[in-house]
A and B are shown apart, each in its own frame.
Chain A
Amino acid sequence: MPKRKDISSVLIIGAGPIIIGQACEFDYSGAQACKALKEEGFRVILVNSNPATIMTDPLLADATYIEPIHWESVEKIIEKEKPDAILPTMGGQTALNTALTLDKKGILKKHDVVLIGANREAIDKAEDRQLFDETMKAIDLETPSSGIEHSMNDALEVQKKIGFPCIIRPSFTMGGTGGGIAYNIKEFKSICEKGLELSPTSELLIDESLIGWKEFEMEVVRDCEDNCIIVCSIENLDPMGIHTGDSTTVAPAQTLTDKEFQIMRNASFKILREIGVDTGGSNVQFAVNPENGKMVVIEMNPRVSRSSALASKATGFPIAKVAALLSVGYTLDELKNDITGGLTPASFEPSIDYIVTKIPKFAFEKFPQASPKLTTQMKSVGEVMSIGSNFQESFQKALCSMEEGLNGLNSLSTNGMFASDEMIKSELTIPGPKRIFYLSDAIRKGWTLEKIHSLTKIDYWFLDQISELIHIEEEIKSMKIKELDKKYLLDIKEKGFSDSRIAEMLGLTEDAVREHRKNLNINPVFRRVDTCAAEFATSTCYMYSSYGGKCESRPTNNKKILVLGSGPNRIGQGIEFDYCCVHASLAMQEEGYESIMVNCNPETVSTDYDVSNRLYFEPITAEKILDIIEIEKPEGVIIQFGGQTPLKLADFLSDKGVNILGTNVDAIDRSEDRERFQELVNKLQLKQPSNATAKNVNEALEKAEKIGFPIVVRPSYVLGGRAMQLVNNIKELEKYLNEAVEVSNSKPILLDSYLTDAIEVDVDVVSDGGNIEIGGILQHIEQAGIHSGDSACSLPPYSLSEEIQNIMKKQAIDIAQELDVIGLMNIQFAVKDNDVYIIEVNPRASRTVPFISKAIGNSLAKVASKAMIGKTLKDQMFSSKLPKGLSFVKEAVMPFDKFPHVDPILGPEMKSTGEVMGIGPNFGEAYAKAQKGANKTLRRSGVVFISVKNSDKKYLEKFAPEIINAGFNIVATSGTADFIEELGLSVKRVNKVAEGRPHIVDNLLNNEIDLVINTTEGTQSIKDSASIRQSALRNKIFCTTTMFGAFAIIDAFKSNEDNWTYSTLQEINK
């Protein structure tokens, strides 16, 4: 059936900010959907609050709304745009839930809008655990024995029937939020309590534990004529008990016979039909008992998911694009398989002749109070994928892609000392993110695979493969490099051993091994991902490296540029950098270059095979990049846009004579090396907070005294403020030095005087080497000291004078000139008492680039890339003028709800996973929209609880009357209350937690508080007040931990939600 004629405009709902469980895979799917539907001539309307996405690029849709993904906002957009249909399956759980709400509230009917790609009934059947269970029973499929409950008492009843351990999952939450495994009644009660709160329907599913069962996933696509295909099967290396998003997974499934596979395949189709997914992609998860093959259905997602992004990249079959086209009426046989150049139709099942491994990336180091254990609730913040011609190669390449200093299956032992047997046993049984390394060490210690299997339940097939790798390592250790002859070296390279791992085993340098390898003429071959295991020829340049056999790279003689991607997402380096890399690639193509992308993150747009002319899906390591450069011989390499990942290779590549485009590598060093940076600051006569570098503990203590407290301390060369802390006195500094970091000659720590109550400002600069332009000036809302990635900020500045802005502009230009910047540069300033201080300079793309680009209607990354190949800003007619009369606010989105034991307080270490943008005619509206976009509900009147540190009390004089004016009654703890009373204002006193009950936390839990203003300092008082912030978070009570944030709320209250304006980026930047 060809495309529907009754639809001419489609509203696509995005996924909003990046959060754990919902990452940039939905930018990939949304971007594909926008492109596909636009090409088909539909008017595409898009709503997504996340400015760092490619999908919100104005060219991708006809009407792009960067607005909160909340039914109220979406209704306004529907009123304005009058779309014929809504496609809710591209934006994860967020889009699905929003569409469901719109339907339930009768808004779709009222405006005569249809849902395409999924219907309410299907969404309900798939997401409502009870309906799902009943649906599965109706088609003779088993689900784990379970109960569905709405209260604690009922939950306890069910638990009695099921026993321990059991798995608890709340309905309608993504990434298993609020779920967990309970081994005892205490854990059970605590998980249930949280789950009941988090589930929008207060519904819990309590499952029999299938811990240790094998876990599989099927990626299914169905069209409106009931044609169904399996795009990919995925097998989890980690058995049941760990969320699939947190599991190492392998595609295709490796340990099923055809008979068993077909049962699963047939069941998947049956499930899609019965649930009623009429068109599009879905994901079905199964568990299989390894003893007898008994199969149960775990869950299904009636939408594209993280797994479908993985399956798309793993096979070359663009699930999101196909799903979008199916949703408007096409059938699979009418669509072409692009990767074979249209030689084959989309109605086939990819066959792959390689192995794909996905490994998740965690950020537990950011949340020391969180338990670093993997359960049924997803906790990973990113992932890597790798492709190899066999499992071992694929697995080892994935490890190298992680950017955790791994070059293979590195041992956790220090100086030859392994972890104790008890420790290993515990880590194997109750897994954390390092299980695979404990497992490897267990093999090194001589544990039998039987013992390891009995503790981990990991299939022997995987254990055998890993065990062989460990034994080869031991073999290499006993050899001399000249004994690694051609056959042997080729063999181990084919098993995925990196040059640097081999070097480590031999006690040599990586260069020595590379040279030996080159002398033996052992080079990687590049193979193509073609969806068909070479049955048909492909001209698509989607490649991965392997060893042995024929190279299919066939590089061209075109002039070309290599763009290095940003690797796995992590806190501090996320989708913003992928946005920049994609734009760099597009810019190169616009300028007539062939663009070549290297990246290893399956969630991204950059790893779509049709974004760049050529795509290498590879780890971003010295070895692999050099291999690609040797075969492609590009004119230049762009390393400015992928965050710290490619930057780390700058020196190496430059030493090898590779032409690095844009700013000189030395400039990076001048801005990162403390001493050289100071020279620069002095030379330009700029101001810097007094600071020092220390190479040992004593030096640190000494220098700290000289600088004076408070001080911000951190290790050098870090991104996202890793291990950064504000210390108020010598005692706190000692504690930090002893517990948090390692200090040494090679790993010095940095001390910076902390500017109390300073305003922080981000300035992005673009330069062509001659002309230097300011991209944007962003004023932070939270004061300096809160990590810039966690601060909300406003473009243009909302309270900085023209004069101060001009000073910063001039200083930025001076620095860019001094560093000879070509491309992008980001500077962080702090403004205190009208003095401007330089905090940090980064001669590369920053996190704020996409945000500014969306506001000014001009892609800074594109402009910068073109400048790097010689096109001047003048030639590009660059302008960074903001649209008149508009304010843009960026708000950071925090993952605290995933880590209940973590104190949700902002600080110098970055913790946010994503961002949203709010656009309005004034700061207040923009800020309020950003809060709504971040899913933070601002109650506009009621009771405000105020407890502020002494140094903030001066602000109450202004704040207290204003908040009363806004319609709030004040409740405060004694110190703050005294102060407010002195101001002649009325205040109700409340006990601190330590002062006896009832105390403030009781009030919060009883929902008697509507707003929390809580600023605090000093390790002890932070600790004492943590429960206030945690309780606020759990009860969804808006809580700000800075006074500057508190004032922004007053501004937000001034905007009336009913009068909010909704404009498209296209209208704004006309």
Chain B
Amino acid sequence: MPFKAILAFEDGSVFHGKGFGKEIFNVGELVFNTSMTGYQEIITDPSYKKQIVTFTHPHIGNTGINTEDSESKIIHASGMVVKKFCEKPSNWRSSESLEEFLIKNQVIAISEVDTRELTSLLREKGAMNCCIGSLSSVSERDAIKAAKGFEGLKGMDLAKVVSTKKEYEWNEGTWPENHKSEKSYPIIAFDFGIKENILRLLTEHVGKVKVVNAETPFEEIIKLKPKGIFLSNGPGDPEPCDYAIENIKKFLKEQIPIFGICLGHQLLALAGGAKTHKMKFGHHGANHPVQDMLSKDVFITSQNHGFAVDINTLPSNIKVTHISLFDKSLQGIEFLDAPAFSFQGHPEASPGPQEIQILFKKFSLMVEDYAET
């Protein structure tokens, strides 16, 4: 049943709406996502930790929740902001409604809010700290206070918060055919908040995947004789993740193939000596054009990042492979002196366009090359 809910900002402004999901309150950084499909993937993406997601598409919930499309076991986003919430899903794969899924995950959402106004606001002012809550759980004044009290994502190491505690093997290919690679090269995937579709694609294209905790030391990994290292996406600021950065430096020296996505990309760049910064409102959508600098091909990509690598700080041993055609920002790098490359956007898509999944093939060739010599 819907309840009264609010969205309160640190600057004191408050939006009223209809709440659904769990009647609680939560704080986070408000971001917008312009993807027109894939809310299930988005809210279960660990990269959205401590973030409240505004969906620009007006109807959310239409296709319910199914058992196949989640990017992790739980909802990671701190809350959802939507214009129109659909209570009765209509899709042949739907096994429960979005509302049921939210309640199960103890997450609150607010609807009947002007998401376009919020998006314009975020575009102008940058990502903002805010509090989303049911009026039964928090007053306007306390919500504003809570928003003010949120420490923000700058300097926050969230990767280790969301990372798996136990290592595990992954053995599932991509939907719907569940294709798996015939190769059995051992691949280590560092979990900084990994999306399951990455694991599915690694399984489909590269080899046997073992997922490990973000802070697993180099020495332990090297004992496993990996033929490739994968650095996952994840939430928060890459800079404080020194444990990961130090690890990556060592893998680079070992000349083991490395592929990084999103946070993984930022960590790889930091390990190479570049700098990162927090963006004004980040990239969150499924329609961003990215150009391959060599072939000049344009890929429409899925994007979700609030931090970025500063293109001007790249050392001479790292070359730019991709840039965003929206704002010319850095999207991909490759090391000249090591078999390592990374991508800022999300080649695993989910949600979003899949054409740049060819990067997984690139990684696969790199791994094969390394393993065979």
A positions within 8 Å CB-CB of B: 225-229, 252, 254-259, 261-262, 265-266, 269, 290-293, 331-333, 344-345, 347-355, 389-391, 459-461, 464, 527, 532-537, 548-550
User: By the criterion CB–CB under 8 Å, are A255 and B91 in contact?
Assistant: yes
Cα distance A347–B123 in the bound complex, in angstroms: 21
B207, CB-defined interface residue at 8 Å: no
With an 8 A cutoff between CB atoms, is B246 at the interface? no
A536, B281: Cα distance in complex, Å: 11
Tell me if B114 and A535 are in contact (CB < 8 A): no
Chain B: CB-nearest residue to A549: B114
Q: Which residues in A have their C-beta under 8 angstroms from that of B37? A: 256-258, 261
Q: CB < 8 Å: which of A254, A262, A349 contacts B59?
A: A254
Min C-beta distance of A491 to chain B, whole Å: 8
**Chain A residues near B68 (CB-CB < 8 A):** 259
Tell me the nearest residue of chain A to B40, going by C-beta. Answer: A257
For the complex, what is the distance from the CA of A537 to the CA of B93, rounded to whole Å? 37
Contact across chains for B287 and A351 when beta carbons are under 8 A apart? yes
Q: Which of B51-96 contact A (CB under 8 A)?
A: 56-59, 62-63, 66, 68-69, 83-84, 86, 88, 90-93
Contacting residues of chain B (80-124) with chain A, CB-CB under 8 angstroms: 83-84, 86, 88, 90-93, 114-117, 119-120, 123
When distances are taken between beta carbons in the complex, the residues of chain A under 8 Å from B116 are 353, 389, 527, 533-534, 549-550
A332 near B287 with CB under 8 A, answer no
Q: List 30 A-B contacts (CB under 8 A).
A: A255-B91, A257-B66, A257-B69, A257-B93, A258-B37, A258-B41, A258-B69, A258-B286, A258-B349, A258-B352, A259-B69, A262-B352, A269-B355, A292-B92, A293-B92, A344-B289, A348-B300, A351-B285, A353-B115, A353-B116, A355-B59, A389-B116, A391-B59, A460-B88, A461-B86, A464-B90, A533-B119, A535-B34, A536-B123, A549-B114
- Residue contact B175 to A333, C-beta cutoff 8 Å: no
**Once the chains bind, are A534 and B120 in contact (CB under 8 Å)?**
yes
Q: Is the CB of B298 within 8 A of A332?
A: yes
Determine whether the beta carbon of A265 is less than 8 Å from that of B353. Answer: yes
* A877 CB to nearest B CB, Å: 48
Main SS of the interface on chain A? Answer: loop
Query: A349 with B353: in contact, given A256-B63, A259-B69 (CB under 8 Å)?
Result: yes
* Shortest beta-carbon distance from B172 to chain A in Å: 14
**Is A459 within 8 A of B115, CB to CB?**
no
Q: Is B92 a contact of A352 with CB atoms below 8 Å?
A: no
* B38 contact from A258, A350, A550, Cβ within 8 A: A258
Q: Which residues of the partner chain B approach A351 to less than 8 Å between Cβ atoms?
A: 34-36, 56-57, 285-287
Contact of B291 among A226, A333, A389, A459 (CB under 8 A): A333
Cα–Cα distance between A265 and B325 once the two chains are bound (Å): 21
Is the CB–CB distance between A262 and B353 below 8 Å?
yes
Max chain A C-beta neighbours (<10 A), residue from B59, B289, B298: B298
Which single residue of chain B is at the shortest CB-CB distance from A391? Answer: B59
The 5 closest A-B pairs by CB, nearest first: A549-B114, A258-B38, A258-B351, A533-B56, A258-B37
User: Roughly how many angstroms separate A265 CA and B286 CA in the complex, as a whole number?
Assistant: 13
- When chains A and B are docked, how far (Å) is the Cα of A293 from the Cα of B69? 15
Complex CA distance for A287 and B267, rounded to whole angstroms: 44
Chain B interface main SS type: loop
- CB distance A350 to B287 under 8 Å? yes
Please tell me which one of the listed residues A257, A348, A459 contacts residue B287 in the complex, with CB atoms under 8 A apart.
A348
Q: A255-B90, A262-B352, A331-B296 are in contact. List 17 more A-B contacts (CB 8 A).
A: A257-B37, A257-B63, A258-B349, A262-B349, A262-B354, A265-B353, A291-B92, A348-B289, A349-B353, A351-B286, A351-B287, A353-B116, A461-B88, A464-B86, A532-B34, A548-B114, A550-B117
A355, B59: Cα distance in complex, Å = 9
Residues of B within 8 A of A252 (CB): 36, 57
Contact code string B127-149 (vs A, CB < 8 Å = 1, else 0) = 00000000000000000000000
Cα–Cα, bound, A353→B120 (Å):
12
> Smallest CB–CB gap between A303 and chain B, Å?
23
Cα–Cα, bound, A1045→B91 (Å): 58
Q: Contact check, B289 vs A460: say whether CB atoms are below 8 A apart.
A: no
B5 to chain A minimum Cβ distance, whole angstroms, is: 15
B35, B36, B62: the one contacting A255 at CB < 8 Å is B62
Of B63, B66, B92, B296, the contact of A333 (CB 8 Å cutoff): B296
> CB-CB < 8 A to B69: which residues of A?
257-259
In the complex the two chains form, is A345's CB within 8 Å of B353's CB?
Answer: no
In the bound complex, how far is the Cα of B94 from the Cα of A257, in angstroms?
9
Which residues of B are found within 8 Å of A347, using beta-carbon distances?
289, 298, 300, 325
Residues 12-59 of B contacting A (Cβ, < 8 Å): 32, 34-38, 40-41, 56-59
* Cα–Cα distance between A229 and B290 once the two chains are bound (Å): 12
The minimal Cβ–Cβ distance linking B45 to chain A, given in whole angstroms, is 12
Point out the residue from B83, B91, B92 that lies within 8 Å of A389, measured CB to CB.
B83
* B364, CB-defined interface residue at 8 Å: no
Q: Which residue of B lies closest to A254 (CB)?
A: B62
Most chain B CB atoms below 10 A, which of A262, A269, A535, A548: A535
Partner of A348, one of B114, B325, B354: B325
Interface centre among A257, A351, A352, A391 (most CB of B within 10 A): A257
B297 part of interface (Cβ distance < 8 Å)? yes
Give the shortest distance, in Å, between B31 (CB) and chain A (any CB). 11
- B233 contacts the other chain (CB 8 A): no
B265-281 Cβ-contact flags toward A at 8 Å (1 or 0): 00000000000000000
CB neighbours (8 Å) of A533 from chain B are: 32, 34, 56-57, 116, 119, 285
Bound Cα distance from A1026 to B116, whole angstroms: 59
Cα A340 to Cα B352 in complex, Å, equals 22
Q: Which residues of A contact B291 (CB under 8 A)?
A: 333
B18 to chain A, nearest CB (A): 10
Q: Does B288 count as interface, using CB distance less than 8 angstroms? A: yes
Residues of B within 8 A of A535 (CB): 32, 34, 56, 119, 123, 285
* Residues of A with C-beta under 8 A to B91: 255-257
Chain A: CB-nearest residue to B295: A225
Within the complex, which residue of A225, A389, A536 is in contact with B58, where a contact is CB–CB below 8 Å? A389
A390 touches B59 (CB 8 A): yes
* Per-residue contact bits, chain B 172-193, to A (CB 8 Å; 1 contact, 0 not): 0001100000000000000000
Interface residues as binary, B350-373 with A (CB distance below 8 Å gives 1, 0 otherwise): 111111000000000000000000
Question: How many angstroms from the CA of A225 to the CA of B325 in the assembled complex?
Answer: 16
Beta-carbon contact of A390 and B90 below 8 Å: no
- The distance from the CB of A536 to the nearest CB of chain B, in whole angstroms, is 7
With a CB–CB cut-off of 8 A, which chain A residues contact B355? 228, 269
Residues of B within 8 A of A333 (CB): 289, 291, 296, 298, 325
**Bound CA span A331–B288, Å:** 16
CB neighbours (8 Å) of B83 from chain A are 353, 389-390
Residue of A nearest to B38 (CB): A258
